[in-house]
Structure 1
Amino acid sequence: MLSLHKLFLNAGAPDSFDEVIAPTDSQRRTLMAAKNAIREHLRADIRAATTTVLGMDRMVTPRFRTQGSWAYKTCVQAAHRPPQEMDWDFGVYLPVTVWDEHAPPARMAKLYFELVERSLGQLCEREGWRLERGNTRCVRIRIADWAHIDVPLYAAPEAKFHQVMEKAVALNSAHHAYLHLRESAALDEAPEPFWELLDEIHVATRDGRWLPSDPEAVAKWFDDQVLVHGEQLRRVCCYLKAWRDYHWRDGGGPSSVLIMIVVTQAFDATPRRDDLAVERAAMTLARALGDGVYERGIDGGEEDFNRMSSGERLIAVQRAESLARQMSLSRHFGPGLRQTAVDNVRAQFGPRIADNCELVAADDGTDVRRVPAAQVVPPVVGATKAG
């Protein structure tokens, strides 16, 4: 038997998969600089327009929040570039002084969306970026041929902002509250407890609707799960996102959030054996992706996070089965087939897996015996017609 662990995680070696798929420091700096430029530009424009365009009775200042894979710490390099890209989700949160019964005034949604899109169009001209208008729930800015920033537009009652800020400060010591508020004043980003408590949030759409939204729900749930299971859970989700990107070159397949939820729901940590964790997570995906996927810890179990069609689900299940099968087969090779094992893993994850059989070690089976046996993935039977 073999251990494939060092193909995935190898003490920071530059050719290990976890290092190869991670964003570089240069990419991070580029995205952060663009995000900060967006924040500074929108802060002034939105504040000035809250009375003149949005019809509020006084000026208010928006807040900003990084979301999505950068908040989950699961952002990975694109497997195929182009067409794949790295993205950064950067939400704008507007305190609304006028509030209808269950949402901001209906007419404000389209005005808000058009205001931000127009403002960001001016920023794009100045920075040499490109504004894209195809998204219904965010404004997208392409800052490079490898990256874009999505800006969803949220709103919540101004009174709620003040109430939540008071509670957030109360949850901190006086010293920490002071530091957080200092940072908040400088960056227009509120202290962490603020985001955990803020509710009654709606997101504006391009066609002028307000939709209820809880953009923090997945991040809060996933952070809690990582505390329970350890960082291996986050790494395995990153590996499987990279696997998804390799096999679905033009998009599609299981979403990143779907992968995170399915893997987390059945995760069982296997210390020092990321290869075993990947294999078992692939089995979990194969069992789950053919059906609806719900998570009570995020939204009470109301939303089906598996938005793939029946045909897409079948393909995803088959590819996850293949991954689980090839990982297991490769682990069961003898030492003389180490290169074949590497070739098998590279066929599943692509050339970003190091082509180095020296990273594959003999395994006496101790780690495997320490982990409860996983159920064999049942074969997928496609739909048939009787006639």
Structure 2
Amino acid sequence: MPKYDVTKLMYVRSESDRLINKLDVDDYRVALMKAARTKVRNAIKTAFTAAKTNETYMARMNAAERTAFINIEPRFWPQGSLAYGTQNMPSHTPPQQIDVDDGVYLPIEALRDKPIVLKQVFFEIVDTALKELAVLENWGFDDQKSTCVRVELDAVTHLDVPLYAIPIERFDELQKAMGRAVLSREAVTDDGDINLRALLGEQKVYLALRERPHWKESDPIRIQEWFEGEQKIFGSIFTRTCRYLKAWRDFNWFKGGPSSIALMICVWETFNDRKTKFYTDSEALLAVARELPARLEAGVKNPVAPEETVFPRDLDDIEFNSIIRQTTLFSEDIRTSLESGTSRLGVVETMIKHWGTRVPHRADWVVSASSATAAVVTSTPAEPQPKPEIETMRSGTEFRSG
């Protein structure tokens, strides 16, 4: 049994001055991101419509590619932390930025034959459209990313637009399923809206890469669906713990460190391996911190594609070992502080050491672990985590807000 509980420093329902509140992105910036995303989607849809009568593009394609291209209508799906409900305000801005990811999904024929021309045309259409939009909106523009196009809304926020392809035969099935969706309880959300993730099911989705290989099998919708399923199982304490770990990473690494998805998977593994529920945020954080170094060192796999290594990925030995050392120090500090700390003030100072001054300097909010757990067990259960906003793939029109 730990000695201290720091939940009151991190989260108290109905209070707005705890660590979790300091991580929230303000309403103004959320509105800015949504408005920018709508403009980006509209620019891409308009560009694809115009490109179908552009002879310069058409001359580069064979007959089959032209037929496929003329029938393409882009779809959109938000992904990443905004979709998961795990988005934080960065700790160091700049260089850190809020990352908004919005995938463009395109039906395309004969992926097995590597339609390189179509991929190049796709990037050119999106690059040109967003470059022109960036000039109009006074945004930054970056077309040097391997997997996406990026527009920088300001010094704090950027929007990444990766391009995905759905095989045309599977897309036809999707289109037919959309027509039947209202008849299928499986494909309808709690609010009665079409759930296109359910319709995609196990269909393969491919990410376009600027260089070779030209296409990579990658389906962010599957990992999002998995994560949201775990949120329903473990509740809002699971989501908050993921956000605490991401905030710790952002405070300790101006750039780099364990990826967000790797940290989220490590949190999930700890929750999943637990035989009893976590009653407090402090209890969950301690368990995750205790196990984090070993989980990272052993390697983190994608839970929906176990053959894929999420961490370490694209790291050399020096960077990998540095991350493990930093994570081990974090683990030892949290364990020592919460399990055998000598003072409440010392516990607060340890928290500030690893999360910065967004942790309230309130030693009186550090309590004994036994009393904290007892209070939660006898209290009214917390309200479930609000669902993150989801939009339709077709138009991007918002039909639910969390």
Residue aligning to 1:254: 258
Residue aligning to 2:289: 282
| Alpha carbons 1:218, 1:298 under 8 Å: kept | yes
- Normalising by structure 2, what TM-score? 0.81
Structure 1 pair 191/48, CA: closer, same or farther in 2 (3 Å)? farther
- Partners of 1:134 and 1:315 lie apart in 2 by 28
- Partners of 1:198 and 1:237 lie apart in 2 by 26
1:178-221 C-alpha deviation (Å, 9 max, x unpaired): 999x98xxxxxx74345643733222222372222212121122
Structure 1 pair 293/175, CA: closer, same or farther in 2 (3 Å)? closer
Residue aligning to 2:124: 114
Q: Which has the higher contact order (CA 8 A, sep 6+)?
A: 2
Q: Is 1:135 matched with 2:145?
A: yes
Structure 1 pair 217/175, CA: closer, same or farther in 2 (3 Å)? closer
- Report the 3-state secondary structure (helix = DSSP H, G, I; strand = E; otherwise coil) of the residue aligned with 1:102: helix
1:332 deviates by 3.9
Q: How does 1:1-387 map to 2 (within 5 A)?
A: 1-50=3-52, 52=54, 53=57, 55=61, 56-57=66-67, 58-96=70-108, 99-100=109-110, 102=112, 105-173=115-183, 191-193=195-197, 196-197=200-201, 199-207=203-211, 209-249=214-254, 251-267=255-271, 268=274, 270-295=277-302, 297-299=303-305, 301-306=306-311, 307=313, 308-332=315-339, 337-364=343-370, 367=373
- Partners of 1:276 and 1:177 lie apart in 2 by 36
- Partners of 2:43 and 2:261 lie apart in 1 by 30
Aligned AA for 2:104? Answer: V
- Report the 3-state secondary structure (helix = DSSP H, G, I; strand = E; otherwise coil) of the residue aligned with 2:76: strand
- Partners of 2:189 and 2:316 lie apart in 1 by 48
Aligned AA for 2:117? Answer: R
Aligned AA for 2:324? Answer: V
Percent of aligned pairs sharing the same letter: 27
- Partners of 1:302 and 1:60 lie apart in 2 by 31
1:116 deviates by 0.7
1:174 deviates by 7.5
Length, aligned pairs only: 357
| Alpha carbons 2:337, 2:347 under 8 Å: kept | yes
- Partners of 1:204 and 1:93 lie apart in 2 by 10
Runs of 5+ in structure 1 lacking a partner? Answer: 184-189, 372-387
- Partners of 1:103 and 1:293 lie apart in 2 by 32
- Normalising by structure 1, what TM-score? 0.84
- Report the 3-state secondary structure (helix = DSSP H, G, I; strand = E; otherwise coil) of the residue aligned with 1:10: coil
| Alpha carbons 2:110, 2:167 under 8 Å: kept | no
- Partners of 1:365 and 1:309 lie apart in 2 by 45
| Alpha carbons 1:89, 1:151 under 8 Å: kept | yes
- Partners of 1:146 and 1:62 lie apart in 2 by 28
- Report the 3-state secondary structure (helix = DSSP H, G, I; strand = E; otherwise coil) of the residue aligned with 2:298: coil
- Partners of 2:296 and 2:197 lie apart in 1 by 34
- Partners of 1:367 and 1:174 lie apart in 2 by 43
Structure 1 pair 312/47, CA: closer, same or farther in 2 (3 Å)? same
- Partners of 1:273 and 1:196 lie apart in 2 by 37
Aligned residues: CA RMSD: 2.9
| Alpha carbons 1:12, 1:19 under 8 Å: kept | no
Structure 1 pair 333/75, CA: closer, same or farther in 2 (3 Å)? same
Residue aligning to 2:391: none
| Alpha carbons 2:189, 2:195 under 8 Å: kept | no
Residue aligning to 2:400: none
1:325 deviates by 2.3
Structure 1 pair 93/104, CA: closer, same or farther in 2 (3 Å)? farther
More displaced stretch, 53-62 vs 125-134: 53-62
1:47 deviates by 2.3
